[in-house]
Structure 1
């Protein structure tokens, strides 16, 4: 008698990144961080980096395993468009006026976090599908994450009015809290997308190697 449960179990195990991503997203959004983020820029940045640099690639990997043909069929131009969308989302929500409003108004905070998730999943998923264009998309995203992180880290004063009206992070001044948040974006955001781009580049080169050897 043939055991039909084994392939199903293997397929379920194959989708562990999707389950891990959803579990981590639940912790980030429904754990203590959202309340902490109201009074701490660095806690806000932990949420942001967790969503785009950890949750999003896990979800993208799970989606690519669940729907390999559909992801592989994604057009390369979509990966570049996705990177531009994430650039717009990240820089727009970190503009002082909008960022302050999102930290103080629940509705805007939800919109901000949803846009970070949508942009992150779109970039990582299209990158996996587009291969070579995906390398460019991830490296572009890495560069603008590093740039924004450096601006936040090196700013001579606190850029956000919320730092003066929200309770600040324990033992940190508003400027110190902002600098820590900038460092988190620079290191985590920049390195995650850079590592993803290099890993994807290695798969592109490996896939093309037999063609070159055959020639």
Structure 2
């Protein structure tokens, strides 16, 4: 059992203990040079989007350089929060940083809603998740596919009419809530990489998993519901403003 505890060494390193996690910064030179290089390229290519480029770089540093990176090795709750930030924060910031005006024909919002859901669900299938926690290549495939599918979805959402956009947001809310509920009510711990690390944080593996599911269910699906309400409210407000007096 002790050997199994060290079998999971993901990209961010072995799971830290509570007393040391705040010192666990990730100074991977390849990652840092990649962030600096992308930031410099963005400044040269899209000068008008510099504030969004800095914001996206800041979120990337928070997720992959700060101690939050290592915390995701210890707790499934932290990993789920990490994935939500990829989808809800980093992806739209990257889109804004690119000054994205998609000119090429892209799939519809309905198609991209399904693609984003499939990618998100796939990486939370326990054997697939476990594989990503063993391999740096699969870990980055997870990060890039979640972020990339969310970027495409956000780009389609920006082009969609208000009703279609609201439907896409509500569909994403439903699939996110369903996955979170399945994780909460699984009845047994499913994610082996956190079986030995969660107890050091005062949580059983099942409790950690249930909190993670609630984060996905309540915070994740709630964020999409709020966005849907805002989009619909703005659309109704524009229609009211256009009506003749």
Give TM-score scaled by structure 2 length.
0.71
Q: 2:147 aligned with 1:112, yes or no?
A: no
Q: 2:206 aligned with 1:175, yes or no?
A: yes
Paired residues, number: 198
Taking the TM superposition and a 5 Å limit, the aligned residue runs for 1:126-137 are 126-132=156-162, 133-137=164-168
1:102-147 per-residue CA deviation (whole Å, 9 max, x = no partner) reads 1222111110011111122222221122133222111111111111
Query: In structure 2, what is the Cα distance between the partners aligned to 1:108 and 1:131?
Result: 36
TM-superposed CA distance for 1:85, in Å, is 0.8
The residue number in structure 1 matching 2:64 is: 29
Q: 2:145 aligned with 1:123, yes or no?
A: no
The residue number in structure 1 matching 2:91 is: 56
TM-superposed CA distance for 1:210, in Å, is 4.7
Q: Is the 2:56–2:97 Cα contact (8 Å) retained in structure 1?
A: no
Q: 2:183 aligned with 1:152, yes or no?
A: yes
Q: Is the 2:173–2:221 Cα contact (8 Å) retained in structure 1?
A: yes
For residue 84 of structure 1, the aligned residue among 102, 106, 114 is: 114
For residue 230 of structure 2, the aligned residue among 196, 199, 205 is: 199
Q: Name stretches of at least 5 consecutive residues in structure 2 with no aligned partner.
A: 1-45
Query: In structure 2, what is the Cα distance between the partners aligned to 1:179 and 1:91?
Result: 16
Query: In structure 2, what is the Cα distance between the partners aligned to 1:74 and 1:19?
Result: 26
Query: In structure 2, what is the Cα distance between the partners aligned to 1:32 and 1:42?
Result: 15
The secondary structure found in structure 1 opposite 2:111 is helix
The residue number in structure 1 matching 2:78 is: 43
The residue number in structure 1 matching 2:129 is: 99
CA RMSD of aligned residues (A): 2.7
The residue number in structure 1 matching 2:36 is: none
Which deviates the most, 102-111 or 25-34? Answer: 25-34
Which deviates the most, 38-47 or 80-89? Answer: 38-47
The secondary structure found in structure 2 opposite 1:104 is coil
Q: Name stretches of at least 5 consecutive residues in structure 1 with no aligned partner.
A: 1-10
Query: In structure 2, what is the Cα distance between the partners aligned to 1:59 and 1:204?
Result: 25
Query: In structure 1, what is the Cα distance between the partners aligned to 2:156 and 2:105?
Result: 8
TM-superposed CA distance for 1:36, in Å, is 2.3
Give TM-score scaled by structure 1 length.
0.80
Query: In structure 2, what is the Cα distance between the partners aligned to 1:214 and 1:22?
Result: 46
